[in-house]
């Protein structure tokens, strides 16, 4: 029987209400597996408990540790795929980080599947056991080979580049933006993919050192009516290496912020323009001061379909490739141009 390696980091799936009435991490990975009947009929299971925390507490250090654990697991001939269990609040960020930084040589083409739960472990009708069982089924399926990193929630399979948490509490909280889900797990546990490999949303890979222990500082700054240069000045003073701007519409902002961006670019602080809109891409459309065309003209680049939190991760990985003497802005521009070539 093929094996699946499961890495546990915590999240709602592992939370229970304590004597003080507080919902906190409590269940180990071994505890969670006990709630899945006849698991031995699906795969031979090995486990690893990296931590047991809320996903809001995850750090870049834990991401990098998780990445190394996945590479190690995929090198094992007895492991057919890897499941990562974590909290849903940042699940899409972790999925995208892994998708962008793991190459096929790192994973040997083996599937990487993330899952979690919207209901805690002691809640009636908890969704965690079903989600975990589904993720294991995907990881052991021959149809999952050479797919992008995937997230499976509520029976739907999402590619990491597209997956996004749309609702704060519902069990069907996750959707694929710009794309439909790439597959599903049926009620009887059958893994079905809807799209051929070529049409699934692909993320251009960014090779990084396995010895890397930290990611460069990149800030996200939102745009709104009345936004000014203060947040940009504070971010630069605090040592940010790049700034992702969560801009209006297709990528627009006011003259005050435009002036701050121009100064940042002159000092080789790369600027990436994302949109705060739920659907649609960040693209240079308008020619007024602060419009996307004027931002592109001064050297800002565009996140295309990536929301700000994923654009930040992509920028961090690109910056992690550089030494301290390299020019950052051209490298970021070239890196984000790949996203448009691989929608």
Strand partners, 326: none
User: What pLDDT, in 10s, does the model give residues 102-147?
Assistant: 999 999 999 999 999 999 999 989 999 999 999 999 999 999 999 9
Q: How confident is the model at residue 179 (pLDDT cuts 50, 70, 90)?
A: confident
Condensed to tens digits (0 to 9), the pLDDT of residues 299-314 reads 999 999 999 999 999 9
Instruction: Indicate the pLDDT class of residue 154, thresholds 50, 70 and 90.
Output: very high
Average pLDDT over residues 148-176: 97
Higher-pLDDT residue of 325 and 49 is 49
What integer pLDDT is reported at residue 325 of this predicted model? 87
Query: Which of the four pLDDT bands, split at 50, 70 and 90, describes residue 340?
Result: confident
**String of DSSP letters for 264-275:** HHHTT--EEEEE
Specify the DSSP class assigned to residue 65. H
The encoded tokens of residue 314 equal 């992509």
Average pLDDT, the chain: 95
What does the pLDDT average to over 199-220? 93
Report phi then psi at 121, rounded to 5. -65, -30
Report the percent of the chain where pLDDT is more than 90. Answer: 92
The pLDDT > 70 percentage for the chain reads: 98
100 by Cβ neighbours in 10 Å (0-12 / 13-18 / 19+) ranks as buried
The partner residues of 163 in beta bridges, in order of sequence, read 176
DSSP state of 39: G
H helices of the chain, where?
Answer: 29-34, 60-74, 91-101, 104-107, 128-140, 230-237, 255-266, 292-298, 308-320, 328-341
The CA distances from residue 296 to 24, 126, 235, 240, 273, in Å, are 46, 48, 21, 21, 9
43 φψ region: left (φ > 0), alpha (ψ -120 to 50), beta (else): beta
Domains of the chain: 3-199 (3.40.50.1170), 218-341 (3.40.50.40)
What pLDDT was estimated at residue 279? 92
Query: Can 12 be counted among the known catalytic residues?
Result: yes
Which residue in the list 12, 90, 94, 275 is annotated as catalytic?
Answer: 12
CA-based nearest residue to 145, from 197, 184, 72: 197
User: What is the model's pLDDT at position 124?
Assistant: 87
**Radius of gyration (Cα) for the chain, nearest Å?**
21
| 3 pLDDT more than 60 | yes
Q: Give residue-wise pLDDT tens across range 16-66.
A: 999 999 999 999 999 999 989 889 899 999 999 999 999 999 999 999 999
d(CA 208, CA 150): 20
For residues 264 and 343, which has the higher predicted lDDT (pLDDT)?
Answer: 264
The Cα–Cα gap between 39 and 23 comes to 27
Q: In terms of pLDDT, which residue wins out, 40 or 318?
A: 318
Check pLDDT > 70 for residue 343.
Answer: no
The pLDDT, as a whole number, for residue 213 is 94
Give the three-class secondary structure for 253: coil
Residue that has been written with the tokens 């390299």 in this structure: 326
CA dist., res. 72 & res. 314, Å (int): 23
């Amino acid at each position: 029987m093929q094996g699946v390696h499961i890495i546990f980091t915590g999240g709602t799936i592992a939370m229970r209400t304590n004597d003080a009435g507080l919902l906190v991490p409590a269940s180990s990975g071994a505890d969670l597996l006990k709630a899945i009947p006849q698991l031995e009929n699906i795969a031979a299971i090995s486990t690893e408990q990296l931590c047991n925390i809320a996903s809001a507490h995850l750090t870049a250090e834990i991401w990098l540790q998780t990445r190394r654990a996945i590479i190690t697991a995929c090198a094992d001939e007895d492991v057919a795929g890897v499941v990562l269990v974590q909290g849903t609040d940042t699940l899409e960020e972790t999925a995208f980080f892994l998708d962008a930084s793991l190459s096929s040589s790192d994973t040997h083409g083996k599937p990487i599947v993330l899952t979690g739960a919207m209901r805690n472990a002691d809640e009636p009708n908890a969704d965690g056991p079903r989600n975990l069982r589904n993720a294991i089924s995907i990881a052991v399926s021959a149809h999952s080979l050479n797919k992008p990193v995937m997230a499976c929630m509520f029976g739907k399979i999402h590619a990491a580049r597209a997956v996004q948490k749309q609702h704060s509490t519902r069990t069907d909280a996750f959707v694929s933006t710009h794309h439909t889900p790439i597959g599903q797990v049926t009620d009887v546990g059958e893994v079905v993919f809807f799209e051929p490999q070529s049409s699934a949303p692909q993320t251009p890979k960014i090779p990084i050192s396995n010895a890397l222990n930290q990611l460069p500082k990149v800030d996200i700054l939102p745009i709104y009516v009345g936004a000014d240069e203060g947040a940009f000045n504070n971010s630069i003073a605090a040592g940010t290496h790049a700034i992702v701007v969560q801009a209006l519409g297709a990528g627009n902002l006011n003259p005050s912020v435009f002036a701050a961006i121009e100064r940042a670019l002159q000092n080789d602080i790369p600027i990436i323009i994302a949109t705060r809109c739920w659907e649609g891409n960040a693209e240079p459309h308008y020619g007024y001061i602060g419009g996307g065309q004027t931002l592109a003209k001064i050297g800002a680049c565009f996140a295309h379909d990536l929301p700000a939190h994923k654009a930040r991760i992509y920028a961090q990985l690109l910056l992690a490739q550089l030494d301290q003497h390299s020019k950052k802005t051209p490298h970021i521009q070239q890196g984000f141009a790949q996203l448009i070539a691989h929608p």
